[in-house]
Structure formats: structure tokens, C-alpha cells
């Protein structure tokens, strides 16, 4: 048999991002603060840069003379 009133309340709360964006989500907490969301994350905004770290591929090709 389940005990009554031992489960926390699951409610819709407002999530606030550091960029100022807010949205609703379900949680047992009163309020949620986050540092990064889908509105400001580089992957979702298209501002992500794929940078080759130090030309590793070119170094490898030169070292082993691959063309």
C-alpha cells in the first residue's frame, strides 16, 4: 500500500537562462536557473566552429607522406 503525501509536488515551473530566455518545464523545484539554453548554445544557433586542432591531419599526412 502506498503512503499518502510522501511524493514531492511535480509542477510546471519557469526555467531562466543567463541569456534572458525563459520557458516552462516540469520539476519538483520552485525555480530553475541555467547557464546555457537552446537559444544561446552555439550548436543550435549555427555559430559553432569546427576547428582542426593544430593541423594534426596535415602533420600526419606529411609525416607518413600520404596524399
Say if residue 64 carries a ligand binding annotation.
no
The pTM assigned to this predicted structure is: 0.54
Q: List the domain boundaries for the chain.
A: 11-63
List per-block mean pLDDT (blocks of 10 residues) for the chain, which spans 67 residues.
82 92 93 88 69 70 75
Say if residue 41 carries a ligand binding annotation.
no
Residue 17: closest CA among 46, 49, 53, 44: 44
- Could you write out the DSSP letters of every residue in 43-65? HHHT------STTHHHHHHHHTT
Say if residue 13 carries a ligand binding annotation.
no
- pLDDT given at position 13: 95
Say if residue 51 carries a ligand binding annotation.
no
- pLDDT given at position 57: 75
What's the CATH number for 11-63?
Answer: 4.10.80.400
Amino acid at each position: 500500500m502506498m503512503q499518502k503525501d510522501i511524493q514531492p509536488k511535480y509542477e510546471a515551473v519557469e526555467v531562466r537562462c543567463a541569456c534572458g530566455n525563459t520557458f516552462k518545464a516540469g520539476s519538483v523545484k520552485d525555480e530553475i536557473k541555467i547557464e546555457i539554453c537552446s537559444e544561446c548554445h552555439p550548436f543550435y544557433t549555427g555559430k559553432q566552429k569546427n576547428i582542426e586542432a593544430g593541423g594534426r591531419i596535415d602533420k600526419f599526412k606529411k609525416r607518413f607522406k600520404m596524399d
